Amino acid sequence: MTEIEKMLSGQIYDTVAEGLVERRTRAHALCVKYNAIAEDKEEERKQILDQLLPNKKKGVHIQGPFYCDYGDYLHLGENFYANFNFTVLDCCDIYIGDNVFVGPNVSIVTPVHPLRYQQRNLRFKEDGTAYDYECAKQIVIGDNCWIATGVTIVGGVKIGNGCVIGAGSVVTRDIPDNSLA
């Protein structure tokens, strides 16, 4: 199993394994480009989002600044909107349904670092490259949700359809359909 396959399946993986650093660097560069383009340059911004987010449906609008680790594992439904400072660490699949609105300063993060420092601390390869072990857990957000200002959603949770996640919340467990959390 490759390190990318381990990453996507929720297993412990080497964060600087072949291919991962290059893919993150590419995504980070595209985010910088996207964030530097004025909002009235819609076609230029769309072209960058098309490269960065191959799994998005129509009607996606991301205000910017926007940051993601890969972009490849972020699946956005129709009519998705994200306000300023949207941060996504997509080291595992993130599925976001249709008609989801995301307020400013929201983070959706799939990485789960080991709790024991013996597993979590930095390691060094023979060439001196620093790396760590981590795993990632999928996130699912249903249709017709509103994720308010300053929310953090951590790996391994599912937010049901029709939910409102209140400002400043940290979502660490599943939220059933049509809930206010």
DSSP string, 96-134: E-SS-EE-TT-EEE-EE--SSHHHHS-EE-TT--EE-EE
Residue 28: active-site member: no
Nearest-angstrom CA–CA distance, 177 and 173: 13
For 124-160, letters b (16+ CB in 10 Å) and e give eeeeeeebebbbbbbbbbbbbbbbbbbbbbbbbbebb
Active-site residue, from 28, 61, 75, 113: 113
Return the active site residues: 113
